Amino acid sequence: MSLQISSLSPETLIHTGDVQITVTGETGRISLRARGKLAPLDKALGVKLPTKIGTRANKGDVEALCLGPDEWLILCPNDDVSALKAACDAIYEKLPHSFTDISAREITLSITGPQAAELLTIGCPRDIASIGVGEARRTVFDNASVVLWCDGPDQFRLDLWNSFAPYSAELLITGAKEFSAETALT
């Protein structure tokens, strides 16, 4: 599997009263592309792949997010990637697909707190509230493609490619500081 090369190490980057930004630990990430009847892949992964864009399904630690009509992002523990690859390889004849280990490509920021959603609006042009709890979307954050996961009204995860991560994180930290200065003034 690909080596994890992270631009930011797992740690809390900022914690104001209203928002906390943390780099989460390493995880297995898989980009999956396939068309047609998905049953063989569902079986190999142990998760029924969701087919509505933005929806998620999970079985234990393996979580699948539908990114597009023929594209999924799979999250799983690091150690599970090779077993999942072997299981998918075994059904390749039945359902040709593309399985790519992208674990090293991205890091994830956990953004939580009462101002989390508002903080995201400084870089994301989308209506954050349009992403339901338990859903996720690929979208844009200050010009960089990201995946934004909504785990609760005040709980988000933002997947960032390593090369953009320090820049995007810096923007979020600056935003969080400005929000907290604003709160201090009122």
Q: Which residues bind another protein (CB under 8 A)?
A: 53-54, 67-69, 71, 125-126, 130, 137-140, 145-146
Instruction: Report whether 20 contacts 113 (CB < 8 A).
Output: yes
Identity of the residue, 26 or 70, whose beta carbon is nearer to another protein in the bound complex? 70
Q: With contact defined as beta carbons under 8 Å apart, do 106 and 5 qualify?
A: no
Q: Which residue has the tokens 């844009």?
A: 140
Q: Which is nearer to another protein, 18 or 137 (CB)?
A: 137
Q: How many CB atoms lie within 10 A of CB 71?
A: 16
Question: How crowded is the C-beta side of 18, counted as CA atoms within 13 Å?
Answer: 17
Least Å distance between CB 139 and another protein? 6
Minimum Å gap between C-beta 138 and another protein is 6
Residue 26 or 118 having the CB closest to another protein: 118
Nearer to another protein by Cβ, of 90 and 140: the residue is: 140
Query: Distance between CA atoms of 62 and 97, rounded to whole angstroms?
Result: 18
Closest distance to another protein from the beta carbon of 125 (Å): 4
